[in-house]
Every structure is written in C-alpha cells, then in structure tokens.
Amino acid sequence: MASNNAQAQIELHRALAPRYAFRYSFPFSRLFQQDWHAEMMGHIPEGSKAILDLGCGTGFFLAELMEKHPSAVGLDISFEMLQVSDQYIPGAKLVTGDAERLPFKPGVFDVVFCKGSLHHTRDHVAFLKHCREALRPGGVLIMSEPCNDNPFIRLARAIMYKKSEHFDVGDQGFTRKGVLDLLDQADFETPKVKKYGVLAYVFAGFPDHLSILRYIPGNYWITRAFLAIDRVLCALPLFSLLGFHIVTVSHPKSGGES
Ligand SMILES: C[S@@+](CC[C@H](N)C(=O)[O-])C[C@H]1O[C@@H](n2cnc3c(N)ncnc32)[C@H](O)[C@@H]1O
C-alpha cells in the first residue's frame, strides 16, 4: 500500500501535470531547462547504456536523454505526469512506480538520474539507498535538488512550500552539507558538487507562476545572457551561494552495504 506521502505526491502531481507541460511550452523556459539538462548529462560516464530517470515527471529531461541513450527508462509515481511524457516522447520506456519499491533487479543501471525528486520524499536516506541498490558497482547517481544554502532562498522556499498549492508542506530544500551527509549515510561518495541556477532560474524557471515573464520582449535572449552569467557565478565559491539548485555526482562506496 502507498505511504501517506506517496499518496500525497500522487495527488499533488495529478493536479500539476498539465501545468508542467504548460511551463515547458515557452521557448525561453525550454532553453533554460535544456541548459540544466546538459549540465546534468555532462556527467554521464563514457559507455553508459542502462540509464534510469527516477521521478522523470513529464519527461522533458528523458526526451533529451533518449536522443543519445535510446534505452533510457523513466519512472514516476504519478501516472498523470507520465501520460504527458507519453504524448511528448511516444515509445519511451515509462514505468509507474514508487522509488521506495523499485520494480527493477538490483544492480542493473549504469546511471540513475534524480532531477528534483529527492525533496518530495520523506525518508531521504532510504530513497538514496534505493538509488544505490539500482546501480551496478561503479555506477553513478546524478542528482539536482533545491539548495537552501542562501538564507534568503531558504526563507522564500519555506514560504512558497507552505503557501502554494503546488507543493506539499513537507517538501524541503537542502543545504550543501545536508545533502552530502545524506549521500554519505546512504553509502555514496560524492566527488563532484556544483551549484546551478541563479538569474536564469528565477527568470525562466517558472513562467507558469509569473505570467508577466512570458510577455517580456526578448525573454529568450535574456535567458541566454542570464545562463552565461550564472555559469560564472556558480563557478565562484562566494557567489555560488546564490545557486538555487545543487548538482551532485556520486558513486556507491566500495565495500558499502549492498
Ligand atoms: C519536481 S518534479 C520533477 C520532474 C522532472 N524530473 C522534471 O525535472 O521536470 C518531481 C517528480 O517526482 C515524482 N515523485 C515524487 N515522489 C516520488 C516517488 N516516491 N517515486 C517516484 N517518483 C516520485 C513526482 O511525481 C514528480 O513527477
């Protein structure tokens, strides 16, 4: 039986599915997402074949992944989110399922991606352990999660998650230290950590919420400029505090629990 949180996520994302499709329908928003996806896909090791997108949602990331890795699989707890994927990427391998009970043999994936799914779960270490079990020895977990290192971002998120009907009140962002501790507890080592998204995240991340952004002339080109500025900001230790997301690249510890 689905846990209370799993049930809450199913209901939340049933309502959100059309909204995601709408969000990604604007060229400037898609440009931002494509840049984000390229950042994540840049960490796929050479020769990887079996790839899982865990919490693939409406499948915009999966569609790009499949251009180079046609056998990639998407799993999501929300059937309605997957229905959008199905329209967008006919023929994709999509599985409705709960990350807490993955319907795959252990140790089969070269890469597991999680873009924004960990913070929707309640037992983060258990979720990460399931990711580790899905990976073959030497596989890699590539994740992007909301980052709250900046106190203003933490406050803005806390208010948004509490007030907005588009989040569950228990959803939360992470600090850099917090997410690295969770990965460590789940027997991962994490050699690469990067912040992602500052100006472009705010400007192009949510045109469904901030409708005015859709009408700003040149919003595509402004997004391009912001992406270039964000790359510089996220590479500088002090300014990277401004990053809204944290991208981690982790491997199961050798000798860790299996
Ligand atoms: C913020 S959305 C991100 C979707 C997609 N990765 C993207 O970037 O557009 C989070 C997704 O995680 C899914 N999700 C939440 N809890 C889950 C669970 N326990 N197992 C599988 N998917 C889950 C939700 O249904 C939703 O589609």
Q: Rounded mean pLDDT of 117-124?
A: 92
The pLDDT assigned to 252 comes to: 96
Sign of CA pseudo-dihedral 44, 54, 255, 187: positive
pLDDT tens column, 227-240 = 999 999 999 988 88
Nearest to 171 by CA among 180, 162, 179: 162
> pLDDT grade, residue 256 (50/70/90)?
low
> pLDDT grade, residue 75 (50/70/90)?
very high
Domain count along the chain: 1
Nearest to 138 by CA among 36, 46, 37: 46
Return the residue matching tokens 């080109």.
Answer: 221
Does 108 reside within a domain? yes
Q: Is the CB of 116 under 6 A from ligand 1?
A: yes
For residue 119, what are the domain limits?
4-147+173-195+245-252
pTM for the whole structure: 0.94
pLDDT tens column, 13-27 = 888 888 888 888 899
Please, what is the average pLDDT of the chain? 91
Q: Is the CB of 13 under 6 A from ligand 1?
A: yes
Mark out the alpha helices in the chain (DSSP H runs): 4-23, 27-41, 60-68, 79-88, 124-134, 151-163, 176-185, 199-204, 219-235
Tell me which of 79-93, 96-110, 152-166, 195-209 is least confident.
Answer: 152-166
Does 140 reside within a domain? yes
- Torsion of Cα atoms, 72 then 78 then 196 then 138, to 10°: -40
The pLDDT assigned to 89 comes to: 85
* Percent of the chain residues topping a pLDDT of 70: 97
Tell me which of 93-97, 172-176, 206-210, 217-221 is least confident.
Answer: 206-210
The pLDDT assigned to 132 comes to: 97
Q: Whose CA is nearest to atom 26 of ligand 1?
A: 57
Does 209 reside within a domain? no
The pLDDT assigned to 13 comes to: 86
- pLDDT beyond 60 at 1: no
Q: Which of 51, 56, 76, 127 to mutate to test the pocket of ligand 1 (most atoms within 8 A of CB)?
A: 76
The pLDDT assigned to 161 comes to: 75
Does 214 reside within a domain? no
- pLDDT beyond 60 at 118: yes
Give distance in angstroms: CA of 166 to centre of ligand 1.
Answer: 13
Q: Structure tokens of 4? A: 């209370």
Beta strands across the sheet bearing 51-54: 93-96, 73-76, 51-54, 109-115, 135-146, 245-252, 188-196
Query: Which CATH number does the domain housing residue 77 bear?
Result: 3.40.50.150
> pLDDT grade, residue 31 (50/70/90)?
very high
If you write DSSP's letter for every residue of 74-118 in order, what string do you get? Answer: EEES-HHHHHHHHHHSTT-EEEE--GGG--S-TT-EEEEEEES-G
pLDDT tens column, 158-185 = 887 777 777 676 778 899 999 999 999 9
Does 46 reside within a domain? yes
- pLDDT beyond 60 at 196: yes
Does 75 reside within a domain? yes
Does 202 reside within a domain? no
Integer-rounded Cα Rg, in Å, for the chain is 17
Q: Is the CB of 256 under 6 A from ligand 1?
A: no
Q: Which of 117, 118, 129 to mutate to test the pocket of ligand 1 (most atoms within 8 A of CB)?
A: 117
Does 118 reside within a domain? yes
